[in-house]
């Protein structure tokens, strides 16, 4: 076991897959000589050269389209978005090409493409650099979407995504790159379609993902001291949702609190509520509680920025309310 930062874990995943498969290459802005805006590709250019660690112009639509074409012809590209918000400029390519071509070609083409990079609400990065894009891409048929939350699952998910024959979007939170964790020295993979039960409990199911995992864990530490026994689920897979794991928990706890950084309107939490109601409504003893970010552009001002996202005290209050106050 060796302790690694999350950005190191992601770099190790890319390095290992590039060594194992000559078809794997990376492209994006400043990923080569500079090593990436968050150093995920640091030193890989010296090892693999210009054609496999490919610096691109500031032209997201163009280089994403080039990656899709490369995937169609047998390569396995990894697109790094310097900030995932910039990939809105490539939305047409992602939706109308990456997501559809396997279907519209009658299965003649596969699109083994990974799109990854930093996103989420950082610390005073401004509205355009603080977007939560998971709900934007969730509606696109043909995509798989995962959100890493630890160095361990970041490495395992990226390796699995690179090997998958479908387009996969991997969301990395800008504030989690410096997390550290002991990683196995032996190779491992993490499934793209499974949630993680972070903590087992019986009182309430708290569903979350990405950075909010840590706000939930912090809240649960207080709740346990007060006598509550919450179960924590980290979704990891945002599309498809691991509804089997979620329903298994709901059948045990009969109460659900969803904690997300995504916007409330049309967000991941909205889809979760719909699916739980569709498949497990009779198991619920109370309406599902949804804690989401405000439906506004993220302010630059630090205090206003904090006010737009969910904090541990709000999670504590929600669990106390849905479970009843402990005496």
Enzyme catalytic residues: 60, 129
Cα dihedral across residues 22, 238, 80, 106: positive or negative: positive
Asked if 84 and 225 touch (Cβ cutoff 8 Å), the reply is: no
Asked if 110 and 166 touch (Cβ cutoff 8 Å), the reply is: yes
Asked if 31 and 65 touch (Cβ cutoff 8 Å), the reply is: no
- Of 233, 163, 181, 176, nearest to 205 by C-alpha is 233
259, two tokens? 């904690």
Reduced to 3 states, what is the DSSP secondary structure of residue 34?
coil
CA of 193: how far to CAs of 29, 56, 245, 291, in Å? 29, 31, 11, 24
**Can you tell me the distance from the alpha carbon of 70 to that of 26, in angstroms, rounded to the nearest whole number?**
11
**Can you tell me the distance from the alpha carbon of 9 to that of 156, in angstroms, rounded to the nearest whole number?**
9
List of E strands, the chain? 2-5, 24-28, 53-55, 76-80, 114-119, 144-147, 168-173, 180-183, 196-199, 204-208, 230-234, 237-239, 256-263, 289-293
**Can you tell me the distance from the alpha carbon of 140 to that of 59, in angstroms, rounded to the nearest whole number?**
22
């Amino acid at each position: 076991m060796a302790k690694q930062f999350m950005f190191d874990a992601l770099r190790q995943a890319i390095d290992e897959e590039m060594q194992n498969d000559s078809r794997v290459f990376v492209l994006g802005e400043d990923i080569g000589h500079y090593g990436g805006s968050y150093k995920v590709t640091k030193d890989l250019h010296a090892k693999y050269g210009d054609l496999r660690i490919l610096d691109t112009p500031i032209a997201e639509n163009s280089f994403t389209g080039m990656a899709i074409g490369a995937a169609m012809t047998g390569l396995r590209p990894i697109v790094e978005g310097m900030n995932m918000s910039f990939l809105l400029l490539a939305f047409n390519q992602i939706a109308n090409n990456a997501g559809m071509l396997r279907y519209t070609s009658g299965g003649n083409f596969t699109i083994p493409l990974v799109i990854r990079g930093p996103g989420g609400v950082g610390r005073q990065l401004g509205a355009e650099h603080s977007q939560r894009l998971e709900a934007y891409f969730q509606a696109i048929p043909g995509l798989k979407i995962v959100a890493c939350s630890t160095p361990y699952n970041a490495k395992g998910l990226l390796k699995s995504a690179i090997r998958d024959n479908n387009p996969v979007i991997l969301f990395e939170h800008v504030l989690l790159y410096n997390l550290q964790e002991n990683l196995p020295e032996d190779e491992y993979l993490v499934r793209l379609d499974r949630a993680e039960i972070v903590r087992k409990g019986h009182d309430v199911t708290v569903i979350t993902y990405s950075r909010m995992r840590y706000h939930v864990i912090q809240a649960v530490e207080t709740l346990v001291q007060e006598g509550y026994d919450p179960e924590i689920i980290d979704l990891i897979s945002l599309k498809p949702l691991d509804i089997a794991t979620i329903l298994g928990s709901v059948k045990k706890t009969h109460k659900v609190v969803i904690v997300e950084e995504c916007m409330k309107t049309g967000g991941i939490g909205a889809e979760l509520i719909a699916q739980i109601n569709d498949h497990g409504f009779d198991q619920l003893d109370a309406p599902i509680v949804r804690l989401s970010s405000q439906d506004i552009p993220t302010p630059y001002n630090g205090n206003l920025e904090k006010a737009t996202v969910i904090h541990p005290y709000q999670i504590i209050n929600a669990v106390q309310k849905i479970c009843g106050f402990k005496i």
